Chains A and B, each alone.
Chain A
Amino acid sequence: MNTVSLIIAEVPYWGQSLLRVLGGLVAVLLPAGTIVYLFLFKMMSFMQSRLGPMEAGPYGSMQLFAEVGKWLQKEDIYPARADKFIFKLAPLIVLASTFLLVAVVPFGPDAWFTNFEAGIFYALAVSSVSVLGILIAGWSSANKYSLLGGLRAAGQLIAYELPMVLAVIGVVIQAGTMNLQGIVLAQNSGSMFGFDGLGNPYVLTQFVGFVIFMISVQAELTQAPFDMPIAESELVSGYMTEYSGFRFLIFFIGEFATAGVFAMIASVLFLGGWAVPFSWFGWTTMDSIDNWMNFAGPLILFTKMMAVTFLVMWVRFSYPRLREDQLQRFAWKVLIPISLVNIMFTAILKVAF
């Protein structure tokens, strides 16, 4: 036990809950804002040889606040034939799944919201709650484009959930635990063929799993080239067609917050999470880690998350949209068989070594 956990332990339960809610808000909204400004506004502009927003604040850094202000001013419209209660509920479900997802991400040796054994199982389970939100958003809009978008989203998210889970199984086999802290520990205290200078980041030893996981994340986030549910040129933004103002803002935050949280989970699973290789400082177990890692850990995780998000956004800005049948074929005929073979080899090698 070290000081941070002692301080936390003296705070009453309601105080701890409040701190956790505040921390969750920061952990969801800060990456989302950074991703939108740094990648959606600036990186996309640079990749198209333009500068992006430059007027609001230095280098357009206040642009996001201007956009949020604009959305908040807009009228909250719903279609006449929409199922109003469900229609208003849908964006909140999508955002809630993001907040549920961030609850299991560890940020440091003691800096976590919850830390339970089946962490990654829980994360993959609640990440599919957003499918419900998207599906009922499309259905309750009383709009054929929205309905098509919602159904496409449901089909796509379910199809890509499978390779994602199967890719994670490789990591779980190698780490021997489903606890995210345990996976971080296994990566950073491990060694590759006796060399422990880098620990054992699974991006190297589980490279196939990493690639499959990132492709599935791309599809789960409905980013191009897998953005058929949104498809602004054919489905006029799919399930988001009828949403405006505040509710569209929630969908927008949800999209990029989920990108951030998925990138965090990817960096926890494959890049060593909040930690640096333990051999650098002579740590061996979770208890021997210095206390300053509770403050450096979130920053390290944030850096790794930005690197992963860069990959996601880079692919998003480079590739055109796939066709619906190509998307399904790619998931069922390519990704799932490869990930099954990957699991088999991981299991064989795990037993052999």
Chain B
Amino acid sequence: MPKLPGLFKGLGVTFGTLARTVTQGANTVQYPHEKETPPIRSRGVIALHEGNCTSCMLCARSCPDWCIYIEGHKELAPPRRAGGKPRQVNMLDRFDIDYALCMYCGICVDVCPFDALFWSPEYEYSEPSIADMLHDKVKLGEWMETVPEAPELEVGADKKGKK
């Protein structure tokens, strides 16, 4: 036998929600017309700071979906001190992230040793064609504008790094 008081309580819950929605509005947001700002650390899209990238391939190798494509070549740069050997630097030819494959795990951002990849909370970049979900380094560089400032460290936090 079903338990009668619980059944009536259940009816009360749904009717209460009905009344609350009618009088105070719904919990949901009518998306294209009004938007909620995502939390500042949310994982929307990965932005590339090209100047920091050394095309070391760590991100591409750690990506579980293999959705990062990197091509580069080595160039000789003038020596730092007069009379020194010319330096060898890695130049980035191609840096693509296929967001049709990306599963937003963020391993690439964590693994990058030179702070070239950042999370941005931007999320509105869906495309009618799946091929357009491949963002090249120019587009990934444009996302840098949407990357929020890193929040302040907590008081007493251990500062890492050389700075």
Contacts and interface: CB of A to CB of B under 8 A. Distances in A.
A48 B1 CA distance: 27
Interface stretch (B7-15, B70-78, B94-102): B7-15
B146 interface: no
A318 B21 contact: no
Interface of A is mostly: helix
Interface string B1-40: 1100001001101110110111000111010000000000
Interface string A12-50: 000000000000000000000000000000010111111
Interface string A314-335: 1101110000000000100010
Contacts of A46: 17-18, 21-22, 26
A54 interface: yes
A46 B21 CA distance: 6
A61 to B, nearest CB: 16
A47 B1 contact: no
Contacts, number: 42
A66 interface: no
B29 to A, nearest CB: 9
Nearest to B8: A318
Given A43-B18, A46-B21, A334-B1, A51 B10 contact: no
B26 to A, nearest CB: 5
Contact of A50 (B1, B7, B26): B26
Contact of A319 (B7, B15, B20, B21): B7
B28 A314 contact: no
Given A49-B28, A50-B27, A51-B26, A318 B17 contact: no
Contacts of B1: 334
A314 B30 CA distance: 25
Interface string B26-57: 11101000000000000000000000000000
Contact of A318 (B14, B26, B27, B30): B14
Interface string A146-169: 000000000000000000000000
Contacts of A330: 2
**Most chain B beta-carbon neighbours within 10 Å: one of A314, A317, A318:** A318
A256 to B, nearest CB: 19
Contacts of B7: 319
22 contacts: A45-B21, A45-B26, A46-B18, A46-B21, A46-B22, A47-B15, A47-B17, A47-B18, A48-B17, A49-B21, A49-B26, A50-B21, A50-B28, A51-B21, A51-B26, A51-B28, A315-B11, A318-B10, A319-B7, A319-B10, A330-B2, A334-B1
Given A46-B22, A46-B26, 7 more contacts: A46-B21, A49-B17, A49-B27, A50-B27, A315-B11, A318-B11, A318-B13
User: What 8 A-B pairs are tightest by C-beta distance, nearest first?
Assistant: A46-B21, A50-B28, A49-B27, A318-B14, A47-B14, A46-B18, A51-B26, A47-B18
Interface of B: 1-2, 7, 10-11, 13-15, 17-18, 20-22, 26-28, 30
Interface of A: 43, 45-51, 54, 314-315, 317-319, 330, 334
